[in-house]
Structure 1
Amino acid sequence: MKKMLAISMTLLMGTSLITGCSKTDSRPEGSKSAQEQLDQVTLKIMIPGDRPKDFDAVIAEAEKRLAPTLNVKLNVVFVPWSDLAQKTQVTLASGEAVDLVFDAPWLHLNQMVAANYYAPLDDLLKQYGPDILKARSEQLWEANKYNGQIMAIPLSNAYLAGHVYYVRKDLREKLGVAPIKTYDDLIKFAEQVKEKVPDISPIISYKAVTDWTNFRTFFDYDSHLNETAIGVNGVLYLKDNDGKVHNMFEEMDSTVWKWITDARYLYQNKLMYQDVMSVKDQMEVFKSGKAAIINAADFGVKTDVANALKKNVPGAEVEAVTFFKLEKEANLSSFQAWNFIALSQVSKNKERAIQFLNWTQQKDNYDLLAYGIKGTNWEPIGENQYKVLNDGYAWFPYAWIWNPTLDRYDQGLGEEAQALNQFVADADNFTPSKLTGFTFDSAPVANEIAQLNTLRDKYMDAIYLGIVDPETYWNKYKSEASSAAKKIQVEMQKQIDAFLASKN
């Protein structure tokens, strides 16, 4: 779920020529003669996650390919997810030498841009990043600018995140339940599991952004409910693509309230895992065979999930159920990327850093850094799929090189998932949100956002997972958070109105 928080996940956000030439040379670095070879530099790159077992071998191959042209060495620093915000912020604030840094709107991208920690990229990309520009749609670039400038490179392989429910296919078939097509079908299956397979929980859910109630917004085609620029809090939301910030403390949306009461029904009737609030890794519960349904990011079933479940429960099978509409213009998108890679303002290697990122946006090089050593870690299946051969190189292109043009799909996901992934990778399949390109300046209400987030953590999961009486706890949440929510709503609406007026 990392990439979704999908999630998961997700990450990116001076121009003296260093080639020694006295005139501009428009040729790509790979075409230059040996006499013009650049001096060697080492790029320091900070990205999230754990260092894969075979990372050193992959970097050695990358540096071998880079040596004749860009002459770059790579010092890639992996930062644990739990330390990511603090570690990257301290590094940037201290002026420590670093070239490329992972960032995201859900991390601290806006604040770092406002504090001038990142270098603007428009001119650098025009001169040194043609493949970076080409690998992303115009919609993606335009939607991810800051005050009209490119301040970080968007990392994304789609214009809308995939969402599914993992369902125990073996149990569904054993119980004689037809393939699940609707949410009601899903709950009927859960009720069958409770009645006839009492030793496992019918449902387990993630918390926070992807709790059971919030997850249902991903399949809401009646009013297109969505979070605002400050993320999910259960209070402020967007609706009907109307350019308005709605406040559920002032007017509760009837659809959302039904979802909340539905969640309460699931918990009270023991359809929801009873210790859901205390579980640290919900997917591990599902993999162990202790639940029949879980909500998940991305389309299709991840190979590691299917394999782990089968190992723990011989004969068990998983299928992915989604209510996503595979129809052109049925889905809204703001084309906002989840993750970014940004160029540090203090970098002494700005040109070379962009040249390196441009190098990663060429097919063979992208394949190397995204999937590992061909024939050892993976093998290609056609032009846009791959097969994982071992666990030596964990998948993490979302942290530094991701784009919708070169990304391959895991063959194990199946044909339906491939079709869905290809659909969401095409910007032309979406209706643009009215707020495409809008960037919220949170500074005027930073304290209120902090207050609301603290209270969200106190109340939202308990309400949205059905753990507590919804009316009682909603009123408590409202009494403590309504003032902060209102100030945020007013400030955000003011900025949205100005943004929309500027487009007319």
Structure 2
Amino acid sequence: MNRTLRWGCLLAALLLPAGCGGSSASDAGRTAPAATPSPVTLRIMLPGDRAADYDLVLKEAQRRLAGTLNVSLDIKFVPWNDFGRVSEVALASGEEIDLVFDAPWLHLSEMISSGYYEPLDVLLEKYGEMILTKRPRPMWEANRYGGKIMAIPLGVSYAMGHSYFVRKDLREKLGVPPIQSYEELIRFAYLLKQKEPDVVPLIAAGNTSQQLYSQAAFRHYDDVQNQIRPTQALGSSLMLYYQRNDGKVYNLFREKDSLVRDWIREARRLYVDGVMHPNVLGIKDFQDPGFSGEAAIFPAGSFSVDEGNQEKLKRYAAGGELESVTFYQDIPKANLSNFAQWNFIAVPVTSKHKEEAIQFLNWANEKDNYDLLAYGLPGVHWEPVGTDRYRTLKSGYQQFPYVWLWNPDDDRVPATDDRTEALDWFIRRAEHFTPDLLTGFQFDGTPVQNELNAYARIEAEYYTPLFNGVLDPEEAMPRFEAEAGALLEAIGTELQRQIDAFLRNKRR
């Protein structure tokens, strides 16, 4: 007698006068109910911290999943600062992962060229109807690799919302009017140094995984006149960059009069003058000093400060309040976009549950499920404001949708002030942007992979110290160039060669 039958007999013996050792007339023709198969466990690797109320939300998600998909979720959270290294090691070692976050500014191209990710076109066609329909065609077309969907784009807009989070209570205390320009922001930082000695005026990102949030690099987000931006070859670096819309690659070692060099020199001045945090390179999460009240100004990837972050500050600074200060110019056609996204979620080739992984994401891209996983329990963590806005009620669940769910149909914007909401909606309309000449271009790093690897190791020693002012550029830049100049030149030359070929084909 097999195990299933033995357990069935034991249950019947407890409930019925007759056992299961044989059959009777009354049992004739009956079949035992089919056993529910054990749920498939999906292993998901995401950056960030486990939210305090994660288990409450996961319990509700599992309840909903039980009636639709037979899967359970095992989500591994890795701190942002460690995610690139940890995920790369996991993928290279063949660790069983079913879904993993990646990004062009992390190592998406390298992981694709190394063969770590499964092409998704067929899987999405079979199991991902909601995933496909919730993202517009330009988003799919601009985010293919070698003509294939190698990872699902996570995005809601065609530009990133960026601002500086600023201590509004301190600004008002010092009688400073609302800040309207970058120059006014820096004047406020110097005033803070003079009048508020217990507060560090400014901090930026000092780690390599977020180096576009370093002091000098963050300036490029508001550079409408020159449109300086990173390249596909070095997605989080301005050592190679594009400007305007001319299809040319610029090398910072060669561009002695570059605006980027001006930004670096200014960062040095801020550091030497004691305006920048003295330990900017040693702080793992550069926003922590801002939310703890230690620093008064810091960069952020949002146009608004949500209630959860306001609550963080109030725990440390009674009466503390943050405001968002942005210099983004919402003028139609003034900004370029290549419609590429910055965040993705991929299915590793080592996954044994590829179909279930896509089925789960398809389920998660249904409106009610998206709301749950993006914002938490309705009525507990958040409440809807209309159909496309929300208001935070409790900060216990901040599991940001941009690391695994983001889609433009379901995402809500915070119900804040009219200006902030107007900016959020502005960047979600493709027609507001001038198309980048390189829309659809993808860089193949294979021909210069050795140079890319060697350059990355050297850049890690110089980039954030230079772009945060810790190193004197007059002394450090020549050393940097002596060590890495030939490597960067080779990478830039190959990038330009591929761009030229792309543009030739585009004109045909």
* TM-score in terms of structure 2 length: 0.84
Alpha-carbon displacement from aligned partner over 1:266-324 (angstroms, at most 9, x marks no partner): 22333323333333343232234333322222111233432333333323332211110
Aligned counterpart in structure 1 of residue 480 of structure 2, from 477, 486, 491:
477
Instruction: State the partner residue of 1:214.
Output: 217
Query: CA, structure 1 residues 80+288, in 2 after alignment: closer, same or farther (shift >3 Å)?
Result: closer
Question: Is the aligned partner of 1:364 residue 2:368?
Answer: yes
For the 8 Å contact 1:102–1:341, the answer to whether it is kept is: yes
Give secondary structure in 2 for the equivalent of 1:212: coil
Instruction: State the partner residue of 2:503.
Output: 500
1:38 shift after superposition: 10
Instruction: State the partner residue of 1:21.
Output: none
Structure 2 distance, partners of 1:74, 1:345, is: 19
Question: Is the aligned partner of 1:489 residue 2:492?
Answer: yes
Structure 2 distance, partners of 1:81, 1:285, is: 16
Instruction: State the partner residue of 1:294.
Output: 298
Task: Return the letter of the residue paired with 1:42.
Answer: V
Instruction: State the partner residue of 1:176.
Output: 175
Query: CA, structure 1 residues 77+177, in 2 after alignment: closer, same or farther (shift >3 Å)?
Result: closer
Alpha-carbon displacement from aligned partner over 1:195-231 (angstroms, at most 9, x marks no partner): 3334433322223221111111111111100111112
Structure 2 distance, partners of 1:203, 1:390, is: 28
Question: Is the aligned partner of 1:99 residue 2:103?
Answer: no
For the 8 Å contact 2:113–2:446, the answer to whether it is kept is: no
Structure 2 distance, partners of 1:82, 1:272, is: 20
Aligned counterpart in structure 1 of residue 277 of structure 2, from 246, 259, 273:
273
Instruction: State the partner residue of 2:266.
Output: 262
Give secondary structure in 2 for the equivalent of 1:59: helix
Matches within 5 A, 1:372-383: 372-383=376-387
Structure 2 distance, partners of 1:353, 1:503, is: 35
For the 8 Å contact 1:234–1:460, the answer to whether it is kept is: no
Question: Is the aligned partner of 1:334 residue 2:338?
Answer: yes
1:406 shift after superposition: 0.6
1:503 shift after superposition: 1.3
1:140 shift after superposition: 0.9
Aligned counterpart in structure 2 of residue 438 of structure 1, from 438, 441, 445:
441
For the 8 Å contact 1:47–1:399, the answer to whether it is kept is: no
Matched residue count: 469
Structure 2 distance, partners of 1:350, 1:38, is: 21
Deviates more, 1:89-98 or 1:106-115: 89-98
Instruction: State the partner residue of 1:161.
Output: 160
Query: CA, structure 1 residues 224+128, in 2 after alignment: closer, same or farther (shift >3 Å)?
Result: same
Aligned counterpart in structure 1 of residue 457 of structure 2, from 451, 454, 459:
454
For the 8 Å contact 1:43–1:99, the answer to whether it is kept is: no
Matches within 5 A, 1:82-161: 84-85=83-84, 87-93=86-92, 95=94, 97-161=96-160
Task: Return the letter of the residue paired with 1:457.
Answer: A
Structure 1 distance, partners of 2:278, 2:52, is: 37
Query: CA, structure 1 residues 454+180, in 2 after alignment: closer, same or farther (shift >3 Å)?
Result: same
Query: CA, structure 1 residues 304+89, in 2 after alignment: closer, same or farther (shift >3 Å)?
Result: same
Question: Is the aligned partner of 1:235 residue 2:239?
Answer: yes
For the 8 Å contact 1:163–1:295, the answer to whether it is kept is: yes
Which structure has the bigger radius of gyration?
2
Question: Is the aligned partner of 1:316 residue 2:320?
Answer: yes
For the 8 Å contact 2:99–2:348, the answer to whether it is kept is: yes
CA root-mean-square deviation: 2.7
Give secondary structure in 1 for the equivalent of 2:202: strand
Deviates more, 1:216-225 or 1:333-342: 333-342
Task: Return the letter of the residue paired with 2:205.
Answer: Y
Instruction: State the partner residue of 1:30.
Output: none
Deviates more, 1:457-466 or 1:220-229: 457-466
For the 8 Å contact 1:47–1:400, the answer to whether it is kept is: no
For the 8 Å contact 1:38–1:69, the answer to whether it is kept is: no
For the 8 Å contact 1:234–1:456, the answer to whether it is kept is: no
For the 8 Å contact 1:135–1:405, the answer to whether it is kept is: yes
Structure 2 distance, partners of 1:80, 1:317, is: 26
Structure 1 distance, partners of 2:35, 2:411, is: 30
Structure 2 distance, partners of 1:258, 1:233, is: 16
Percent of aligned pairs with the same residue? 46
Give secondary structure in 2 for the equivalent of 1:282: coil
Query: CA, structure 1 residues 101+191, in 2 after alignment: closer, same or farther (shift >3 Å)?
Result: closer
Instruction: State the partner residue of 1:195.
Output: 194
Structure 1 distance, partners of 2:338, 2:405, is: 21
Give secondary structure in 1 for the equivalent of 2:179: coil
* Unaligned 5+ runs, structure 2: 1-32
Task: Return the letter of the residue paired with 2:75.
Answer: V
Query: CA, structure 1 residues 360+221, in 2 after alignment: closer, same or farther (shift >3 Å)?
Result: same
Query: CA, structure 1 residues 336+173, in 2 after alignment: closer, same or farther (shift >3 Å)?
Result: same
Question: Is the aligned partner of 1:42 residue 2:40?
Answer: yes
For the 8 Å contact 2:43–2:96, the answer to whether it is kept is: no
Structure 1 distance, partners of 2:49, 2:439, is: 33
